[in-house]
Chain A
Amino acid sequence: MSYFGDIVHGIGTLLNGMKVTSKYLFLAPKEIITQYYPDNRDTLKMFDRFRGEVIMPHDEQNMHRCTGCQSCEIACPNGSIEIVWDRVVNEETGKKVKVIDKHIYHLSMCTMCGLCIQACPTEAIVWGQNFENSVTDRTQLTKVLNKPGSKVHPDVKE
């Protein structure tokens, strides 16, 4: 009996697989996820979870949220992030505080693991949506994330 049972079971599983693929086949025009990439590069918008590169958002007053705590630098498993920092005296409180001079990000070494973004306590660095990362000179892959003359946002406390 198990001989014929096997045959019936086998046909059942085959039909089950056929059900899935034929559903995709007939849904195809509606569900296609591939993009006409070079044609639509002006309008192409990547989805939220896409990991393009690490960026540091700045607001209109050229302020970022990085306190220079170096958590991202420590969290990075392959040393893609280097932070050049300094201590300056805060005028209001008279205490010395840490500020970043340069937040250096080596895209060429980054594996897009996201540990730096998880480690950041102030959400200063986030994933960018840029997907065209190829350049002709590899020195262009070393980026300074904070813009020149930027300051830390006053709301951010260490």
Chain B
Amino acid sequence: MNIPMMLPTEWIHNFLYASMPEGAAHAVELVLIALGFLAFFAVAGLYLVLLERWIAAWVQLRRGPNRVGPWGIFQTIADALKLVTKELTGTTKADLFLYNLAPYFPIVAALITISVFAYSQSLHAFDINIGIFFITAVSSIGVIGILLAGWSSNNKYALIGAMRSGVMVVSYELSVGLSLLTMVLMTGSLQLSEIIEVQRTGGWLIVQGHIPAVIAFMIYMIAGTAETNRTPFDLVEAESELGAGYHTEYSGMKFAYFFLAEFINMFIVASIAVTVFFGGWLSPFGITDEIFWLQPVWFLAKVFVIIVLMMLFRWTFPRLRIDQILTLEWKYLLPLNLMNLVLMAIIVWLGWTINF
């Protein structure tokens, strides 16, 4: 780590510890990090919604949002303000405690998960040694919120939507976990900084692992799209069948929590893909690895490409039925994934990975 300039994070750290007692400095640091992530969460959520609307428009040869601000860049902020001012309606026969609790599960799970990623060498709030395991475990807490929302709404459409979501997440967690495990075979560590360190010396994992890595990436993208409940796997909120699915009875900001959590989940899926397959904050061929302020830029640029790919999935593929979704998972993705795991184990054992 021969970075000549002092990093901004180190500067803030030193400044805080120099100006106040150790305990207070630590507390202030924690609060600053939490506020930073909350701000990032809100901005990223709003602008992903806007990006989704632009891409939808461009794929369909429309213009998309263009009224609020230049090119419509304040459109989603205006939408969020509208949602904040709306009345929070509810049903009288709902289980009110669970009904009010449910929106916080997806949003808290998403917020915990985005705090674990390595945005750059130093912008890494929480580097635990079970990083990948922690991410997959915490990000699936969100489905509890969906199930609770469906159950406590006292609405059969919401319940059916929530149950479909439960079925899908339970199925597709397996594929996400196994495809990430395939890559962990190559790194030998679950720690995110360690995974990126492996890629710094030997090239991105998708290049190192060649055929099984590409298969694992394809399986991960399919399963990841399914986990975020997006089209073509959006039968959780299939409008033609279930109204709005599990959030039928929610309005205003509570609805917005579910909506924002869906988009942040997309960011999380893309971030895991970038960290595990495409080298995280590393630049291609190591050209600008030492410039600290370009590291988050590279990370976010790669995340952006993956997110655009997922949005393109949404506006390309037709929706699957529930039986087709389960067939895809249990008869195709899972057996392929297990075969791929064995193939990757053989390749790592014989040392046939591409290193340069």
Q: Which residues of A come within 8 Å of B, CB atoms?
A: 7, 11, 14, 17-18, 20-22, 24-25, 28-29, 31-34, 36
Contact = CB atoms under 8 A, between A and B. Distances in A.
A62 B346 CA distance: 90
A31 B61 contact: yes
Contacts, number: 41
A21 B61 contact: no
A14 B59 CA distance: 16
14 contacts: A14-B316, A17-B317, A18-B312, A21-B59, A24-B59, A25-B58, A25-B59, A28-B61, A29-B58, A32-B58, A32-B61, A32-B62, A34-B62, A34-B63
Contact of A17 (B57, B60, B316): B316
Given A17-B317, A34-B61, A25 B312 contact: yes
A18 B57 CA distance: 16
Contact of B63 (A18, A22, A32): A32
B58 A22 contact: no
Contact of B336 (A7, A32, A33): A7
A33 B218 CA distance: 34
Interface in B55-70: 55, 57-63, 66
Contacts of B60: 24
Q: How extensive is the interface on chain B, given as a class?
A: 10 to 19
Contact of B332 (A7, A28, A29, A32): A7
Looking at A20, A28, A29, A33, the one whose CB has the most chain B CB atoms below 10 A away is: A28
Contacts of B55: 25
Given A22-B312, A32-B58, 19 more contacts: A7-B336, A11-B218, A14-B317, A18-B312, A21-B315, A24-B58, A24-B59, A28-B57, A28-B58, A28-B59, A28-B61, A29-B58, A31-B61, A32-B61, A32-B63, A33-B62, A34-B62, A34-B63, A36-B63
